[in-house]
């Protein structure tokens, strides 16, 4: 067992603050990682403020982790000391159920162990995430960062990247298709970059008119302002696929008419119940509403390799750990371009 500094929430109302945690000893299958960078996901805010009613305190958020290997168990020999590696949203799963066998650990029928706030046999009883100096993770859940990718910019790929890559792949996004990405935040800006790299006509659908120029720079072919009723009407029946990243409850029905016949809107925002779904736009157009959760380990490695090949990283604002509470407030105001990443050398 070893002790490591972290930043933790101690209640739903208290700001995150310095806190010492214990990590388990490095077992045969384990990898110990010195964390260099950790991205800040909106999920970290939902969890630390107990938006979903299942917070366990003290909570150390963070599931966009990049660092270097510092110790290896006997059965983790495919990795090397000093290698640049990463950890995403979960650190264990049963590995025997049909989902795990199909490389979809995120849908483990016995429940995966999230990188933070999940019950564990580790010290503390709940997993502690990446707002910390080091972490010990089973080798199966450790990803490799392709050479040449900036490690700080790569950190958000571990959640924002895979959460957008997985549905784009699942719904077969390719040249000739028109894709709308709703919400230009951490997930949304990765969605735009990835959809563009997959060759689809990509439209940014935003509530913030002032983000239009940025959206085009990130790879959007066009920008649609969601509050502009006439523009929304003009784009009716144009989209094969919509990726909805809005992090608050809202009216889905506003977006459904944008879909073509047989089009799908995939929800990735973890927003809980969100009003009534009007059957009209679904049945007049055989449209679908779906959801998607991050991606499996194999798919996450595929995504990292795709990003390596296309030189895709996140547009980040690098912050010190003491700026984390201010970063949360700015994210709530949709004021981040487009992912905060914590430089972990600022934590001691
Ligand atoms: N399914 C999964 O596996 C998964 C994984 C990671 C995160 N998530 C969830 O995905 C959501 C997005 O996370 P994120 O980190 O991308 O958040 P984020 O960086 O805060 O971005 C969210 C964006 O949504 C738009 N938005 C915010 N409030 C809005 C409102 N009231 N009405 C309309 N649009 C609004 C804003 O974009 P514009 O200014 O462009 O409108 C904002 O920048 C969160 O709920 C998070 O928990 C899910
Ligand atoms: Zn996340
Ligand atoms: Zn399983």
Q: What is the per-residue pLDDT for 161? A: 98
Q: What is the pLDDT of residues 85-143, one digit of tens each?
A: 999 999 999 999 999 999 999 999 999 999 999 999 999 999 999 999 999 999 999 99
HSE, side-chain direction, 13 A CA sphere, residue 39: 33
What is the pLDDT confidence band of residue 264, given thresholds at 50, 70 and 90? Answer: very high
Q: What is the per-residue pLDDT for 279? A: 92
pLDDT at 274 over 90: no
What is the pLDDT confidence band of residue 273, given thresholds at 50, 70 and 90? Answer: confident
Q: What is the pLDDT of residues 176-189, one digit of tens each?
A: 999 999 999 999 99
Q: What is the per-residue pLDDT for 271? A: 87
The whole-angstrom separation of Cα 291 and Cα 319 is 31
Q: Among 169, 170, 187, which residue has the most ligand 1 atoms within 8 Å of its CB, making it the best to mutate?
A: 187
Cβ(41) to ligand 1 under 6 A? Answer: yes
Q: What is the per-residue pLDDT for 306? A: 98
Q: What is the per-residue pLDDT for 272? A: 84
Cβ(266) to ligand 1 under 6 A? Answer: no
Among 341, 158, 160, 155, residue whose Cα is nearest residue 243 = 160
User: What is the CA angle 274-280-281, rounded to 5?
Assistant: 80
| Domain 2-159+315-346 in CATH 3.40.50.740 | no
Cβ(331) to ligand 1 under 6 A? Answer: yes
Q: What is the per-residue pLDDT for 334? A: 87
Phi, psi (deg, nearest 5) at residue 35:
-80, 125
Q: What is the per-residue pLDDT for 276? A: 86
Q: Identical fold at 2-159+315-346 and 160-291? A: no
Q: How far is the CA of 81 from the centre of ligand 2 (A)?
A: 27
**113 burial level (CB within 10 Å; 0-12, 13-18, 19+):** buried
Q: What is the pLDDT of residues 226-250, one digit of tens each?
A: 999 999 999 999 999 999 999 999 9
Give me the CATH topology for the region 160-291. Rossmann fold (3.40.50)
The stretch 38-56 carries a mean pLDDT of: 95
Lowest mean pLDDT among 32-36, 200-204, 275-279: 275-279
Q: DSSP 3-state assignment of 51?
A: coil
**98 burial level (CB within 10 Å; 0-12, 13-18, 19+):** exposed
Domain boundaries, the chain: 2-159+315-346, 160-291
The stretch 284-298 carries a mean pLDDT of: 97
Who wins on pLDDT, 163 or 278?
A: 163
The stretch 322-345 carries a mean pLDDT of: 96
Looking at ligand 1, which residue's alpha carbon is closest to its atom 36? 183
Q: What is the per-residue pLDDT for 246? A: 96
The stretch 202-225 carries a mean pLDDT of: 96
The stretch 36-63 carries a mean pLDDT of: 96
The whole-angstrom separation of Cα 189 and Cα 210 is 14
Please enumerate in sequence order all residues whose Cβ is within 8 A of that of 27, keeping only pairs 6 or more positions apart, or say none.
Answer: 73, 136
In the numeric block, the tokens 């110790």 are attached to 71
Q: How far is the CA of 106 from the centre of ligand 3 (A)?
A: 8
pLDDT at 277 over 90: no
pLDDT at 24 over 90: yes
Among 268, 9, 13, 33, residue whose Cα is nearest residue 116 = 9
């Amino acid at each position: 067992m070893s002790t490591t500094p972290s930043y933790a929430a101690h209640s739903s109302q208290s700001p995150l603050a310095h806190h010492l945690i214990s990590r388990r000893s490095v077992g045969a299958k384990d990898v110990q990682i010195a964390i260099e960078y950790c991205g800040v996901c909106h999920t970290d805010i939902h969890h630390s403020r107990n938006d979903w009613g299942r917070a366990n305190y003290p909570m150390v958020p963070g599931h966009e982790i990049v660092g270097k290997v510092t110790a290896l168990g006997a059965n983790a020999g495919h990795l090397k000391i000093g290698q640049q590696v990463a950890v995403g949203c979960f650190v264990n799963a049963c590995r025997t159920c049909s989902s795990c066998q199909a490389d979809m650990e995120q849908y483990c029928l016995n429940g995966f162990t999230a990188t933070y706030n999940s019950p564990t046999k580790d010290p503390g009883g709940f997993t502690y995430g990446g707002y910390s100096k080091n972490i010990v993770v089973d080798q199966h859940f450790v990803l490799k960062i392709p050479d040449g990718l900036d490690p700080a910019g790569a950190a958000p790929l571990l959640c924002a990247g895979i959460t957008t890559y997985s549905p784009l792949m699942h719904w077969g996004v390719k040249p000739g298709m028109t894709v709308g990405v709703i919400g230009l935040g951490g997930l949304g800006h990765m969605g735009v970059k990835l959809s563009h790299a997959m060759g689809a006509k990509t439209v940014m659908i935003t509530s913030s008119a002032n983000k239009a120029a940025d959206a085009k720079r990130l790879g959007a072919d066009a920008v649609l302002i969601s509050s502009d009723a006439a523009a929304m009407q003009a784009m009716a029946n144009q989209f094969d696929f919509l990726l909805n990243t809005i992090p608050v409850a809202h009216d889905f029905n506003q977006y459904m008419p944008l879909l073509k016949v047989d089009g799908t809107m995939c929800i990735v925002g973890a927003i809980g119940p969100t009003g009534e779904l009007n059957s009209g736009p679904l049945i007049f157009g055989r449209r679908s509403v779906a959801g998607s959760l991050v991606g499996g380990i194999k798919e996450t490695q595929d995504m990292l390799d795709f990003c390596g090949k296309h030189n895709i990283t996140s547009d980040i604002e690098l912050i010190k750990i003491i700026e984390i509470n201010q970063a949360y407030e700015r994210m709530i105001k949709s004021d981040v371009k487009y992912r905060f990443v914590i430089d972990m050398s600022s934590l001691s």
